[in-house]
Amino acid sequence: MSVIKVNNLSKIFGKKTKEASSLLDEGYSKEEVLEKTGCTVGVNRATFEVEEGGEVFVIMGLSGSGKSTLVRLLNRLIDPTDGDIEVGGQKLAKVGKEKLRKVRREKMSMVFQKFGLFPFRTVLENAEFGLEIQGMKKEERAKKAKEALELVGLGSFIHQYPDQLSGGMQQRVGLARALANDPEVLLMDEAFSALDPLIRKDMQDELLDLQEKMKKRLFSLHTI
């Protein structure tokens, strides 16, 4: 069974998307399409599936090839021009706002390259954030957030503030915040690329261990 199914997914930025799409089908390049229509091709007919049971799915590509656009399409931070997305059996391409919010809350979490932590919240309060907006009670969310922070090795730092932590530790808080939601799918857009290469390697290894433990479906993006 697949947890994510993407079929013929495209994102074209700009106004003349129909014209741009036809030109692409005729074999014109991204540069030519831009020149002729003023539209930028973000993703062109992507089709893939991610299996259940903890597959780590990595997308690699050159700068500007559409990795971030693809991951944003997956949780509908942006709307597709064409194609289908299915997450956990739920079709997402045309789903309404309410339903989308529910799927985002219950099925997937996202970790970005920029840590996106709140500077005036403690590590624990940062990790609780996703659960807080779900309306979970203080005690319960603190318990779940602490567990996630333990998992990423930050159990002793819960009362610190982000600026008291190293870059790698801040990124772990971001990861703990995503894990605390207990999502089916974890989306990571170059989550570790801002880190020192040595720390990055450590974080990647740790993530694989975590993955083993939790059997989550990770969907992670890297640039090379």
Any idea what DSSP says for residue 84? E
CA-CA distance, 78 to 50, in Å (whole number)? Answer: 20
The residues in 55-84 that bind ligand ATP, with binding defined as CB under 6 A, are 61, 63-69
Q: Closest separation between CB of residue 34 and ligand ATP, Å?
A: 8
How far apart are CB 10 and ligand ATP at their closest, in Å? 11
Q: Are strands 108-111 and 185-189 parallel, antiparallel or unpaired?
A: parallel
Residues 203-222, mask of contacts with ligand ATP (x by CB under 6 A): --------------------
Looking only at residues 11 through 40 of this chain, which bind ligand ATP when binding is defined by CB under 6 A? 13, 40
| Alpha carbon distance 192, 171 (integer Å) | 7
The CB-of-171 to ligand ATP minimum distance in angstroms stands at: 17
Residue 112 makes contact with ligand ATP by CB under 6 A: no
CA distance between the termini of the chain: 29
To the nearest whole angstrom, how small is the minimum distance from the Cβ of residue 205 to ligand ATP? 23
Half-sphere exposure of 176 (CA within 13 A, CB side): 31
Closest to ligand ATP by CB, 43 or 179:
43
CB of 47 to ligand ATP, least distance (A): 17
Q: State which residue, 20 or 127, has the beta carbon closest to ligand ATP.
A: 20
The Cα 211–Cα 45 span in angstroms is: 29
Distances (CA, A) of 213 to 3, 12, 38, 47, 54: 18, 38, 47, 29, 10
Q: Which residues contact ligand ATP (rule: CB under 6 A)?
A: 13, 40, 42, 61, 63-69, 223
